[in-house]
Amino acid sequence: MPGPTLDFIGTIIAALLTIMVLSYLIGDNAFFRLASYLFVGVASGYAGAIAWHNVIRPVLVDPLIRFGPSGLLTREGVGTLLIPWILSLLMLLKLSPRTTRFGGLPVALVVGVGAAVVVGGGITGTLLPQALAAGEALGPETMIPAAGEPIASWAERLISGLVLFLATLSTLMYFRFGARREATGRVHRSRFTQGMAYVGRIFIALTFGVMYAGAMTASILILAERVQFLRHAVIGWMGG
């Protein structure tokens, strides 16, 4: 089939799917559900293909072919083939209510490793850089103006550093850092800590607001791109 014909068919399918999704504006209907099912099916198939080519085949199938049954008990075979196969088979036992308890070990390993990666990434990628940036915000480079630097530029840099330091400190204090628990079990905070926690609450609200605005802006841009695509498609069909 010629290339232009394939492009024309692909444009028609994309336009129809776009209209089917946008039909949700008039209420839930069969066309929207069909487009949703297609999206979920394609996404599931793509995820399955990625899992096969990037995880299952290189980790389970290829080593089994390379080592063979006789190589399972070797030192290299145990680490690269036998243990992954045992964990995978134990994971499959979660499918049955009778054997689900035997699948707890691989699930615990997956959850533990995932939690360690998330926490480690959060500390090294967010918390430590933010703390270092907050410390540098009040460093000599910020507090002392450079030679020949305009006062307005230095004041702007100083205010930005102070806001960054205040936002980091107050946000951390909002999560009960600096609070002490009394003998009665009540959590007590000083007035200073309460005031800083309130400021941190404001910064958290501003952050969520900016994130929500960014998500809405991205959604509007995608909608505008789809409408523009439909417009060009209709003009192309009419012109053709």
Tens-digit pLDDT profile for residues 107-144: 888 889 899 999 888 888 888 887 787 777 777 776 77
pLDDT for 44: 94
* Model confidence pLDDT, tens digit, residues 161-198: 888 888 888 888 888 666 666 666 676 777 888 888 88
Asked if the structure places residue 164 within a domain, the reply is yes
Q: Is the pLDDT of residue 227 over 60?
A: yes
- Determine, yes or no, domain membership for 91: no
Judged against a pLDDT cut of 80, whether residue 210 lies above it is answered with yes
- The residue type found at 18 is T
Q: Residue 117 domain-assigned?
A: no
Q: Are 188 and 180 in contact (CB under 8 A)?
A: yes
Domain annotation covers residue 71: no
pLDDT tens by residue, 2-43:
666 777 777 788 888 888 888 888 888 888 999 999 999 999
Dihedral sign from CA coordinates of 116, 47, 17, 1: positive
Q: What's the mean per-residue pLDDT of the chain?
A: 82
Q: ∠138-164-137 over CA atoms, to 5°?
A: 20
The whole domain housing 216 covers 138-240
